[in-house]
Chain A
């Protein structure tokens, strides 16, 4: 009799375990850097997307990204530590942060850390890490400017420098022409006076 009881208990525990492992939320977290170029002192757009592919809503989802040290990055807009109270099953949420690198050089964009309650009666939070954007090279602003600015000032300087070659002969011609015309005018006046 005793063993039957224990069996029932074991069976109950078994089923409850399987049920709980079935009815859980499961989050996939992607972290992406949506930049063509990483430039010092210019915006870097970081996008976090959380997909709930589980069968129940995830609650108390906390996303923390400590991958951007304060001495190397300034936050332009957005928060790197956020919380979503609830992400329903099958839904996804996005979050965007804009940061600005203060220096240049190679930088490894590491993963963000997420913790969430995978079901209503889960006691311990589920820890997860997001995908990693990987390494990137942040170029200095001077280098970027050299490559991509319109170089208007340079062209203006070029125009100024090439101006003498065009204007000098023209001026010479113009001076002689106006002198000649002045003489002609005087002559004509003389003629008409006569």
Chain B
């Protein structure tokens, strides 16, 4: 009788534990959808062990902080821009866990073994004591060329336990959309263009001026400016002539003549 009871109890216990476990998973699923702000994906650590299924002591959490998404379904990463996510790691067990590396890569969406862009692998080497938590930050830039296409994003966290057994937790392994950021005309670039246009206009004006002046010299002067300047043309105005050396009487005579000459001319004309 007693044996029977215990058997019943045990089976009930197992069943209830199983039920609780299932409930747990449902709850986390719900949390994913209901959560208000930025909660994204929760992957249980035990989904992704190198070896066969065996519950691990790690609990991970992935949160995209840049850009911010409302839902899991609509992960869109801007091409050529910085994307950032945080990884929460909890050691639930009773032994130290050592975080080894964190890496992310873009894969071909049809075949996740085909790498398209690998991002930096961060070496961590951080020991997480039991019951403690750690946050890891990661930032990457999807290449510009991949804009407008879906890709498989794979984020892996490698860690080892106290026995040195390595485990890899697949934090994210799904397709994401790489979107193109359409950029409005920036103030700075606009200013740059205006400046360049102004420089062009200035150059044109200068060139035109130069050509014009050269042309004028050729047509008008016949001779270049400099040679014309050096050419002796004689004294044009008597004021600039040094008259000191001329004797006084000659000078007076000259002056008289000068005063006379217009009259003489006029007289000649009237005649």
B-binding residues in A (CB < 8 A): 3-4, 6-7, 10-11, 14-15, 18, 22, 26-32, 49, 51, 53, 55, 89-92, 111, 126-133, 184, 187-188, 191
- Contact between B88 and A28 (Cβ–Cβ < 8 Å)? yes
- Contact between B239 and A129 (Cβ–Cβ < 8 Å)? no
CB of B61 within 8 Å of the partner chain: yes
Contacts of A4 in B (CB 8 A): 5, 9
- Contact between B9 and A3 (Cβ–Cβ < 8 Å)? yes
- Contact between A14 and B137 (Cβ–Cβ < 8 Å)? no
The 7 sampled A-B contact pairs (Cβ below 8 Å) are A22-B24, A30-B65, A30-B137, A51-B65, A53-B38, A184-B240, A188-B239
Q: 7 tightest A-B contacts by CB?
A: A131-B137, A128-B133, A90-B36, A7-B9, A90-B37, A28-B86, A28-B88
Contacts of B242 in A (CB 8 A): 187
* A30/B135 contact (C-beta < 8 A), A3-B2, A18-B20, A53-B61 known: yes
CB of B35 within 8 Å of the partner chain: yes
Chain B, range 230-268, C-beta contacts under 8 Å to A: 239-240, 242-243
* A7/B38 contact (C-beta < 8 A), A29-B135, A32-B137 known: no
- Contact between A53 and B13 (Cβ–Cβ < 8 Å)? no
**Alpha-carbon gap, A188 to B27, bound state (A):** 111
**Alpha-carbon gap, A30 to B138, bound state (A):** 10
- Contact between A127 and B27 (Cβ–Cβ < 8 Å)? no
Closest Cβ of chain B to A5, distance in Å, is 10
- Contact between B31 and A55 (Cβ–Cβ < 8 Å)? yes
Closest Cβ of chain A to B255, distance in Å, is 10
A contact patch SS: mixed
Contacts of B132 in A (CB 8 A): 126-129
Contacts of B129 in A (CB 8 A): 127
- Contact between B134 and A128 (Cβ–Cβ < 8 Å)? yes
CB of B131 within 8 Å of the partner chain: yes
- Contact between A28 and B20 (Cβ–Cβ < 8 Å)? no
Contacts of B24 in A (CB 8 A): 18, 22
**Alpha-carbon gap, A15 to B12, bound state (A):** 13
- Contact between A132 and B137 (Cβ–Cβ < 8 Å)? yes
Residue with the highest number of chain A CB atoms closer than 10 Å, among B27, B61, B134:
B134
B121-158 CB contact bits vs A (8 Å, 1 = yes)?
A: 00000100101111111000000000000000000000
Contacts of A127 in B (CB 8 A): 129, 131-133
Contacts of B61 in A (CB 8 A): 26, 28, 53
Chain B, range 134-184, C-beta contacts under 8 Å to A: 134-137
CB of B39 within 8 Å of the partner chain: yes
**Alpha-carbon gap, A151 to B182, bound state (A):** 38
CB of B63 within 8 Å of the partner chain: yes
* A92/B9 contact (C-beta < 8 A), A14-B20, A49-B65, A127-B133 known: no
- Contact between B133 and A7 (Cβ–Cβ < 8 Å)? no
B16-55 CB contact bits vs A (8 Å, 1 = yes)?
A: 1100100110010001000111110000000000000000
CB of B94 within 8 Å of the partner chain: no
- Contact between A129 and B135 (Cβ–Cβ < 8 Å)? yes
- Contact between B20 and A15 (Cβ–Cβ < 8 Å)? yes
Contacts of B31 in A (CB 8 A): 55
CB of B6 within 8 Å of the partner chain: yes
- Contact between A14 and B133 (Cβ–Cβ < 8 Å)? no
- Contact between A26 and B9 (Cβ–Cβ < 8 Å)? no
- Contact between B86 and A51 (Cβ–Cβ < 8 Å)? yes
CB-nearest residue of chain A to B6: A3
* A14/B17 contact (C-beta < 8 A), A29-B135, A51-B86, A129-B132 known: yes
Contacts of B131 in A (CB 8 A): 126-127
CB-nearest residue of chain B to A17: B20
CB-nearest residue of chain A to B137: A131
- Contact between B135 and A28 (Cβ–Cβ < 8 Å)? yes
**Alpha-carbon gap, A91 to B239, bound state (A):** 96
- Contact between A11 and B135 (Cβ–Cβ < 8 Å)? no
Residue with the highest number of chain A CB atoms closer than 10 Å, among B17, B86, B126:
B86
